[in-house]
Chain A
Amino acid sequence: MSRHDAIVIGCSAGGLTALQRLLPGLAPNLTAAVIVCCHTGSADVSLLVELLARVSALPVAEALERSHITPGMVHVAPTGYHLLIEEDHYFSLSVDEKVAWSRPSIDVLFQTAADAWRERLVAVLLTGANSDGARGLAAVRRAGGHAVVQDPEDAESDIMPRAGLEIAGADACLPLDAIAAHLNSLCLP
Chain B
Amino acid sequence: MDVEDIEIQLFVRAMQLRHGHDFSDYAPASLKRRVLQLVQTHGTGTISELNRRVLHEEGFVGHVIQGLSVPVSEMFRDPQVFRALREKVLPVLASYPQINIWQAGCAQGQEVYSLAILLEEAGLYERSRIYATDFNDAALAAAGEGIYAARDARDWSRNYLEAGGTLSFSDYYSARYDFIKLDKRLRRNVTFFNHNLVTDVVFCEAHLILCRNVLIYFNNTLQDRTLGLFRDSLVRGGFLCLGTRENIDFSPAASGFTDVDHALRIYQVGGIGARPLTR
Binary B-proximity of A52-86 (CB < 8 A = 1, otherwise 0): 00000000000011110000000000101110111
* Among A80, A81, A92, contact of B29 (Cβ-Cβ < 8 Å): A92
Secondary structure class of chain B's binding surface, majority of residues: loop
Q: Assess the B247–A65 pair: CB atoms within 8 A.
A: yes
A180 within 8 A of B: no
Q: Assess the B220–A92 pair: CB atoms within 8 A.
A: no
Q: Assess the B33–A92 pair: CB atoms within 8 A.
A: no
Chain A residues with CB below 8 A from B29, complex form: 84-87, 92, 112, 115-116
B245 within 8 A of A: yes
- Chain B's closest residue to A87 (CB) is B28
Give, as a whole number of angstroms, the nearest-CB distance from A97 to chain B.
Answer: 6
* Among A66, A85, A86, A115, contact of B247 (Cβ-Cβ < 8 Å): A66
B145 within 8 A of A: no
A108 within 8 A of B: yes
Chain B residues with CB below 8 A from A65, complex form: 216, 245-247
Give, as a whole number of angstroms, the nearest-CB distance from B26 to chain A.
Answer: 10
The complex places the Cα of A101 from the Cα of B84 at a distance, in Å, of 30
Q: A67-B247, A93-B216, A93-B245 are in contact. Are A86 and B34 (CB under 8 A)?
A: no
A-B contact count (CB 8 A): 57
Chain A residues with CB below 8 A from B217, complex form: 94
Chain A residues with CB below 8 A from B177, complex form: none
* Among A67, A80, A112, contact of B33 (Cβ-Cβ < 8 Å): A112
Interface size band for B: 20 to 34
State which residues 124-179 of A face B: CB under 8 Å: none
A47 within 8 A of B: no
Interface size band for A: 20 to 34
Q: Assess the A66–B30 pair: CB atoms within 8 A.
A: no
B27 within 8 A of A: yes
The complex places the Cα of A82 from the Cα of B213 at a distance, in Å, of 12
Chain A residues with CB below 8 A from B247, complex form: 64-67
Q: Assess the B34–A96 pair: CB atoms within 8 A.
A: yes
Chain A residues with CB below 8 A from B246, complex form: 65, 93
Give, as a whole number of angstroms, the nearest-CB distance from A68 to chain B.
Answer: 10
Give, as a whole number of angstroms, the nearest-CB distance from B118 to chain A.
Answer: 21
The complex places the Cα of A95 from the Cα of B213 at a distance, in Å, of 7
Q: Assess the A95–B33 pair: CB atoms within 8 A.
A: no
State which residues 241-259 of B face A: CB under 8 Å: 243, 245-247, 249-250
The complex places the Cα of A105 from the Cα of B249 at a distance, in Å, of 26
Binary A-proximity of B214-250 (CB < 8 A = 1, otherwise 0): 0011001001000000000000000000010111011
The complex places the Cα of A180 from the Cα of B216 at a distance, in Å, of 33
Give, as a whole number of angstroms, the nearest-CB distance from B4 to chain A.
Answer: 9
Chain B residues with CB below 8 A from A87, complex form: 28-29
- Chain B's closest residue to A116 (CB) is B29
Chain A residues with CB below 8 A from B32, complex form: 115
The complex places the Cα of A78 from the Cα of B213 at a distance, in Å, of 14
The complex places the Cα of A80 from the Cα of B216 at a distance, in Å, of 13
> Could you tell me which B residues sit within 8 Å of A by CB distance?
2, 27-30, 32-34, 70-73, 213, 216-217, 220, 223, 243, 245-247, 249-250
> Could you tell me which A residues sit within 8 Å of B by CB distance?
64-67, 78, 80-82, 84-87, 92-97, 108, 111-112, 115-116
20 A-B pairs whose Cβ atoms sit less than 8 Å apart in the complex: A64-B247, A65-B246, A81-B245, A84-B27, A85-B29, A86-B27, A87-B28, A87-B29, A92-B27, A92-B29, A92-B30, A94-B33, A94-B216, A95-B73, A95-B216, A95-B243, A96-B33, A108-B33, A115-B29, A115-B32
Beyond A86-B29, A95-B71, A115-B32, 15 additional pairs, beta carbon < 8 A:
A64-B247, A65-B245, A65-B247, A66-B220, A81-B245, A84-B27, A84-B33, A87-B28, A87-B29, A92-B27, A94-B217, A95-B213, A95-B216, A96-B71, A115-B29
